[in-house]
Chain A
């Protein structure tokens, strides 16, 4: 009797043990083998415009950093790898989705117009384009206060940790990336670069640096170390800002420490537009989200699908509707003026988000692509193709 009971208990325990082993195995395998194909990831990802910066962002995520932490680390890296594109002297816009609250917010830390600027600045547009070189075009940099605000609201790792990988990159024998070298050798950019103060950084004598050439940048490394340890106020109200203002004053800049001190990022709700099964969240004016929303909302109404692309005539039809929509969108760009500085534009972008305007535009799109520019509100020769 007792033997029979013992055998039953053993069998039950064995069964439980086996079941537990199967569950553990399934959990382990699900974490290591995503059934999503070789190009997919199972957990998280970072897409920056260089491998080294995507890798830095991923490392931050793997250290339990938040997506905002990873983004800041990847951007700091990009300012070193692709300095032709962005950096601490620029501005940034974040769109952030918090899965816990379900909210999507925008932090706009794009540069602002300084208190003192050339009175007839915009009279110089035609001569200045396309490069726009010269201190008169400098806006108050917002990059670092943008990072700080994003980190304050959504950061998980210590601030300094986000800068360490890039500081190590700079201190460890940083070299010129092929993309940067391509820009340095560009025939349009090269003469202006050579005549500018950037020559000391990116030229070896009269020759622009080539891919894999050493790019010593100790001043930036020291700046990153200072910001990492002391925080961004050292730039906006402290000695780094003072040095920056003094340096660029020698090139005619009127930027002041007061301009830096006054800079504040703007935190707002993202624009929200339903697009069939999806909802699009994007940044409001003066950023371009309203125009993107308008374009996609108009296109959504044409119900394009894989089938639309199956035959040549269908492909032409899809792109014809796209072109026509882009023309109408171009005619609406005036709505992107900064509503805080121009109260008349307060609600100018609202129409772009609604179905009424989208429907009206769809009705005006036919098979012809030769309508007058006035058809699209493009009659005036507005704009200089910037943005």
Chain B
């Protein structure tokens, strides 16, 4: 997955996230067109209980809404659920904007949320907000820490009862452009050796 953030001279903006899903997609290549094919249908697996397929396994409603608890078979024309979140934040009163999004499969939302939180509320500048190591919560409720995440915070969370586990690799990458008054800041994630450009 790859994300591009753009802010134009007139203040218009675009956040776009594009993907072939997992690295190299389906690993199927069309030699005459030079095109590598996606494996996006794999994302439909998200809605199925682990260890089973299209057999429904109903669960009772939860207290905040009621999960349907079924593994629906794919429907032609359907789009699979996605973590992609190309987003634009606008503060009309101050003339500020943040154009942001990211890559990294299920890490996208964790990474983008933490970059926004750090930038908007915790006093980080945009570069620091994107560079800061992230944490992620997996579907078993365990916390996964990106390498170099604060040991002090990890210990503190453990003391509060948070379970942690190792994640083999982190592929989170965030790109953002912010406008603060007359100034434009742009950051491409160094995790992927990115570099922004502007004028």
Contacts and interface: CB of A to CB of B under 8 A. Distances in A.
A96 B14 contact: yes
A39 B29 CA distance: 40
Interface of B: 1-51, 53-54, 57, 59, 62-65, 67-69, 71-94, 96-99, 101, 103, 105-106, 108-110, 112-114, 116-117, 120-123, 127, 135-141, 143, 150, 152-153, 156-157, 159-163, 173, 175-177, 180, 182-189, 192-199
Contact of A320 (B45, B71, B156): B156
Contacts of A41: 183-186, 198-199
A383 B116 CA distance: 26
B193 A179 contact: yes
Interface in A80-126: 82-100, 104, 108, 110-115, 117, 119-126
A374 to B, nearest CB: 8
B18 A91 contact: yes
A45 B76 contact: no
A335 to B, nearest CB: 8
A337 to B, nearest CB: 6
Interface string A129-148: 11111111111010100000
A158 B35 CA distance: 23
B47 A47 contact: no
A329 B138 CA distance: 11
A194 B105 CA distance: 23
B30 A337 contact: no
A139 B2 contact: no
Nearest to A128: B42
A36 B183 contact: yes
Contacts of B10: 99-100
Contacts of A379: 59
A162 interface: no
Contacts of A99: 8, 10-13
Contacts of A381: 49-51, 139-140
Contacts of B42: 125, 128-129, 132, 137, 386
A247 to B, nearest CB: 4
Given A93-B84, A95-B88, A322-B113, 16 more contacts: A46-B177, A47-B186, A66-B8, A86-B2, A87-B35, A90-B40, A99-B10, A113-B41, A125-B48, A134-B26, A192-B27, A196-B29, A278-B96, A330-B139, A335-B65, A370-B162
Contacts of B182: 34-36, 42
Given A198-B36, A304-B117, A306-B123, A286 B79 contact: yes
Contact of B91 (A44, A74, A277, A384): A277
A57 interface: yes
A170 to B, nearest CB: 9
B35 A244 contact: yes
A95 B14 contact: yes
A133 B136 contact: no
Nearest to A259: B76
A278 B87 CA distance: 12
Interface string A316-354: 101110110011111111111110111011001001000
B129 to A, nearest CB: 12
B81 A336 contact: yes
A54 interface: yes
A285 interface: yes
A62 interface: yes
A223 B6 contact: no
B77 A112 contact: yes
Interface string A53-87: 11101100110001110110011001100111111
Nearest to B156: A316
Given A75-B18, A219-B34, A133 B87 contact: no
